[in-house]
Amino acid sequence: MDRMLYLSMSAASNVMTAQAVNSHNLANVNTTGFKADLSQFRSMPVFGEVHPSRVYALEERPGIDLAQGTLQHTGRDLDIAVNGNGWIVVQADDGTEAMTRAGDLRVSSTGLLENGAGRLVLGDGGPISMPPYTKIDIGSDGTITIRPTGQDEKTLATIGRIKLVSPPVEDLVKGQDGLFRLRDGSQPQPDASVLLTVGALESSNVNTVQALVKMIELSRKFEMHMKAMSTVQQNDEVATSMLNMN
């Protein structure tokens, strides 16, 4: 009975972890450029001084779903979406470079270009500073051109170029802040082949229907394991009662 109890206990614990991952994905179904976390279960023998006679369930995150989300055309000059593979480089809280697909850009009160999450968008020389302008144009290669305030229509100024990168997907890791980084901690190099769609945003790639179905499935699995533990307890009580009769 102890084997059954151990297996059910470990399985229920890991189902709760999987449910947390699934709930996190559902919570970000409307987050621009969000990439869903993946989860899976596998059996793990318990090794010790003797032969592995116990097996427990292990929930693990094998990776991230990097499939592209749906492009939603907004017509807004500061909305950008990466075409195919590629990332927009932003500044993380610790000042290092990180990658995101969230292209809902805006100009902060200090005149710096940032995305909707408040991450500073980086160019080849660092954060991009935006002087007052009456018109802005972002090219498909990330080049930012403006018409400065007070200037005529023919006067244009190139402010900088958004740093766009495309490192190998196997080298990417996702942090707790939702940003992506290179596994070895190095900075990604600019890639001229990465192109943007201006006036559009990439939606989250979370499939709402699948996530809801999985939530129900995980809930039923958790209930099954809890019933198994309850059965073990009942059997133990019956066995104890029979021994006391002797």
Overall pTM surpassing 0.95 (yes/no): no
pLDDT tens track for 99-152 = 999 999 999 999 999 999 999 999 988 999 999 999 999 999 999 999 999 888
pLDDT tens track for 159-200 = 999 999 999 999 999 998 999 999 998 999 999 999 999 999
Q: What is the 3-state secondary structure (H, E, C) of the chain?
A: CHHHHHHHHHHHHHHHHHHHHHHHHHHCCCCCCCCCECCEEEEEEECCCCCCCEEEEEEECCCECCCCCCEEECCCCCEEEECCCCEEEEECCCCCEEEECCCEEEECCCCEEEECCCCEEEECCEECECCCEEEEEECCCCEEEEEECCCCCCCCEEEEEECEECCCHHHEEECCCCCEEECCCCCCCECCCCCEEECEEECCCCCHHHHHHHHHHHHHHHHHHHHHHHHHHHHHHHHHHHHHHC
Which pLDDT score is estimated for 77? Answer: 94
pLDDT tens track for 41-62 = 666 677 767 666 666 666 666 6
Question: Rounded to whole angstroms, how far apart are CA atoms 89 and 85?
Answer: 13
Question: Rounded to whole angstroms, how far apart are CA atoms 185 and 97?
Answer: 10
Nearest C-alpha neighbor of 5 from the set 161, 231, 185? 231
Query: Do the bridges between strand 113-115 and strand 105-107 make them parallel or antiparallel, or are there none, so unpaired?
Result: antiparallel
Mean pLDDT of 15-30: 91
pLDDT score of 153 more than 90: no
Torsion angle of C-alpha atoms 221, 227, 230, 236, degrees rounded to 10: -100
What region, left, alpha or beta, does residue 126 occupy, with left being phi > 0 and alpha being psi -120 to 50 degrees? Answer: left
pLDDT averaged over every residue in the chain: 88
Contact 119, 100 (CB under 8 A): yes
